A and B are shown apart, each in its own frame.
Chain A
Amino acid sequence: MARIQAITVPKWGLTMTEGTVSQWLVEEGDTINLGDAIMDMETSKVINVVESVVAGTLRRQVAQEGDTLPVAALLGVLAEAEVADAEIDAFIAGYVIDESASGAPAEADTHDAVPAPPPPASAPAPVEHTPSAAATASAPAAAGAPPVPDALKDGDDDSGVHASRHARKLAARLGINLHNVAGSGRNDRISVADIERAIATAGGSVPAKQPAQRGPEFNPVPADDSDVPATSVARRLAKTLGVNLHQCRPTGRHGRVCKYDVEAACALLHGTPAPAAAPAEIAAEPAPLPESVPMSGMRRTIASRLQASKQRIPHYRVSMDIRLDALLGLRRQINAGDPAANLSVTDCVVKAVAMALVKMPEVNVHYDEATQSMQRFRDADISVAVAIPDGLITPIVKAANTLTLTQIAAQMRDLATRAKAGTLQAEEVQGGSFSISNLGMFGVRQFDAIINPPQAAILAVAGAEQRMVVDDGEPQVATVMTVSLSCDHRVIDGAVAAQFLQLLKRFMETPSLMLA
């Protein structure tokens, strides 16, 4: 074992090029074992713990909190007690990053601050045409001034040159002599855009514009954010950027605000450049335009119907867990006895719902808002949502209460097949009395559905999963499914909905009742 060992910046994932020291978790003199957590480190994506891959005594914390270092850079030095400080100094001084380990050029750590290489003269950088200096004017000092080609800097006193007020300010800030800029404005006046154009033409780069953040900037948040849990890097950055930590959404471990959160908040509040992943209400100009997707007729129908439903119907939801062990057993028996039956859980739900609806016709209703009238149905015509490319369709199992499980299964297969083939007839999708939407096959634990008017209720069926349940004080494993009933409160009251779910639960948990 080497007498002196290095702790270096790990490479968490292919794209990681650098990390920022968030916090040392050990102090100089501590004994480090393999796998010990020694440091919190932030990358552009995560905040993570650096675990030691070497063992020994921490002799030197080389990296300081807040340092941003490339992969494989030296963080600290382990050595036994007998190793002299001078030797450690020499080791640190002579440490060279292993390029193969870092996978990135050493200068990557400062890529933010390094000017973009000037484009070749034959290909001048594109010029922003928006007459805005928002980004240049409000960019934090950390981003630096845009690199200005020297050719624009020389010249005699330019105080007599005709320039707009903001153009003169910008030129002064960038050290540009206005004699080197051609004015395109009224009376040949130089504008901010003219300066930006001159910079680009001379081979410099102009910072991209970012949309400003709308909305009140002065949220009533406590000025003192010292009690907000945050990494030390985040806290320092927040101070630099003038971001109140209360305004940051914590995504770090233990609910801490990390560097990324501060940057995101800063982008949101000040319109300063945000990390690529930061959400922007209005796309930042340099980003590729989103693809424009035409709305199909079905999409438009779904959009308008569901929007109207959500806006007009006073929805409320009631959920219930249903144990499926017995039902799954019955299904197994039927499918084993008659492989052609091929009964699915959805088929069973359709049957159970149909039976419950017949027993509780208060839920089996249409509501006509225009006439303020209600229609109650004797049979359960159940609309079952089927996902198809670019939308969904709800074929109807008619009078499902009169059908056997196998008849329902056969109808469902037929309807689903033809739904996907697009050959359903209009009457096969119009006029159901109740809807079921099942997303259980995707492992969804619970969800709420939007009522399909003029129906007054819809059942959202989530996935069956094994859960720990407590029966008579005894924990045991059961297969459980959560169903949620969305109801129109204008015609179905909460107690009715709850009773309906009770009934449904009874049929599903005691499936022999469905055969009765």
Chain B
Amino acid sequence: MAEMAMRAAINLALREEMRRDERVIMIGTDIAGGAQGSSGAEDVAGGVLGITKGLLSEFGAGRVIDTPISEMGYMGVAVGAAATGLRPVAELMFIDFIGCCGDMLLNQAAKIRYMFGGKSTCPLVVRTTIGAGANAAAQHSQSLYHWVTAVPGLKVVVPSNAYDARGLLATAIRDDDPVIFCEHKALYDFPAAAVEIPDASYTIPFGEANFVTEGTDVTVVALGLMTHIAAGVAAALSGKGISVEVIDPRTTSPLDEESILESVASTGRLVIVDESAARCGFGQDVAALVAERAFHALKAPIKVVTPPHCPTPFSPPLEQAWIPSGERVAGAILETMGLDPALAAA
């Protein structure tokens, strides 16, 4: 057991899977970095966020493939390779660039198995980054996991800590179907996401939520970075006698509906904290699920805490106002309890 940051845990999982199965390859822009620069140095970057550093040195350019900035092209290559015997892990630097490779994910990877009558698979993993907080502004801060969650044929993972990231990535790579693996960039070095992880490799099944805290008054569903905000609020509110159950679904497709429904059945109140979207997002989807299947258990209206319906701003104070805050989460929890949301500030 050792404590490990999420960045290192993802790197470790990639190494482990590449060692385990030589069909696993990495493909993406700058995932090694440095090729044919004037210094002659290679493997200098490991992607713009340094996640894949060292893989080139260990596995060679035949399996760690730096691509041109051609998202659609290399994603198509990855899909074609996946359909014919490799198990590519393609890196889409930011999920904001999904528009540049949308067809290969939405119309090719997602459809292959079904459209071909079950005669083909597409064991592709797309690692990508999501999330605001890095002052990266509107084109590098989105959390578009709800887009891909809406597409049948794609599995979608949103890990919130090092342990989950390692286990879920191993599962994703061993899965025979396309998986979009969404890494929140604020979590790579986030202290709370750095947790003890076992020495030996392990997998975590998809579609099984993690209970971050257990509680009896309010269920809070949160993903990625929002999990940590929710957990902080839960700890603060426990001091006020409010018992919050924080559930991290970990995968949005498949979604662990059962754990959410069972929790709401026991608490009768639901708050969803979601960075994806103010409308038609993951949060609204969970709200609809509960309204549809556990309406009878609800003691109060569901609250969904999301960013406002506007692009992620650049200026730091604006960006902080954009990201769902602990105050807003606490306020929503108090509101479902019939208490004054202003108490959250107290």
Residues of A whose CB lies within 8 Å of any CB of B are 130-134, 137-138, 164-167, 185-187, 189, 191-192, 209-219, 271, 282, 285
Contact = CB atoms under 8 A, between A and B. Distances in A.
3 tightest Cβ-Cβ pairs between the two chains A and B: A216-B338, A166-B262, A132-B265
Interface of B: 205-209, 211, 214, 254, 256, 258-259, 261-263, 265-266, 268, 293-294, 296-301, 337-339
Nearest to B299: A212
B262 A164 contact: yes
A457 B207 CA distance: 65
30 contacts: A130-B293, A130-B294, A132-B261, A133-B262, A134-B268, A137-B265, A138-B266, A164-B256, A164-B259, A165-B209, A166-B263, A167-B262, A192-B262, A192-B265, A210-B296, A212-B268, A212-B296, A212-B298, A212-B299, A214-B298, A214-B299, A214-B301, A215-B299, A215-B338, A216-B338, A217-B300, A217-B337, A217-B338, A218-B339, A285-B296
Contact of A209 (B258, B296, B301): B296
Given A132-B265, A137-B265, A186-B208, A211 B254 contact: no
A159 to B, nearest CB: 16
Nearest to B207: A186
Given A209-B296, A218-B338, A218-B339, A187 B208 contact: yes
Contact of B266 (A137, A187, A191, A217): A137
Nearest to B216: A137
Contacts of B256: 164, 186
Contacts, number: 91
Contacts of B209: 165
Given A164-B258, A213-B299, A216-B300, A131 B293 contact: yes
A167 B300 CA distance: 24
A187 B205 contact: yes
Given A131-B261, A186-B254, A165 B299 contact: no
A167 B262 CA distance: 8
Given A165-B214, A215-B299, 6 more contacts: A131-B265, A132-B297, A134-B268, A165-B209, A166-B263, A189-B258
A191 B258 contact: yes
Contacts of B205: 186-187
A304 to B, nearest CB: 28
Chain B binding surface, main DSSP class: loop
A300 B259 CA distance: 44
B249 to A, nearest CB: 12
Contact of B265 (A133, A165, A186, A217): A133
Contacts of A131: 258, 261-262, 265, 293-294
A137 B267 CA distance: 9
B339 to A, nearest CB: 6
B296 A134 contact: yes
Contacts of A192: 262, 265
Contacts of B338: 215-219
Contacts of B294: 130-132
Nearest to B339: A218
Given A134-B268, A214-B298, A189 B263 contact: no
Nearest to A185: B258
B175 to A, nearest CB: 13
A167 B259 CA distance: 9
Nearest to B337: A218
Which of the listed residues B207, B211, B261, B337 has the most CB atoms from chain A within 10 Å of its own CB? Answer: B261
Nearest to B294: A132
Contacts of B268: 134, 138, 212, 271
Which of the listed residues B206, B254, B296 has the most CB atoms from chain A within 10 Å of its own CB? Answer: B296
A213 B301 CA distance: 11
A187 B206 CA distance: 9
A507 B77 CA distance: 98
B259 A217 contact: no
Contacts of B296: 130, 132, 134, 209-212, 282, 285
A134 B254 contact: no
A192 B126 CA distance: 34
Contacts of A211: 296-297
Contacts of B337: 217-218
A191 B339 contact: no
A191 B262 contact: yes
Nearest to B254: A186
Contacts of A285: 296
Nearest to B266: A137
Contact of B259 (A133, A137, A166, A210): A166
B217 to A, nearest CB: 10
Nearest to A216: B338
Contacts of A166: 259, 262-263, 265-266
Contacts of A138: 266, 268
A212 B291 CA distance: 13
A209 B294 CA distance: 11
A211 B263 CA distance: 15
Contacts of B298: 212, 214
Contacts of B263: 165-166
Contacts of B206: 186
Contact of A189 (B208, B265, B293): B208
Contacts of A214: 298-301
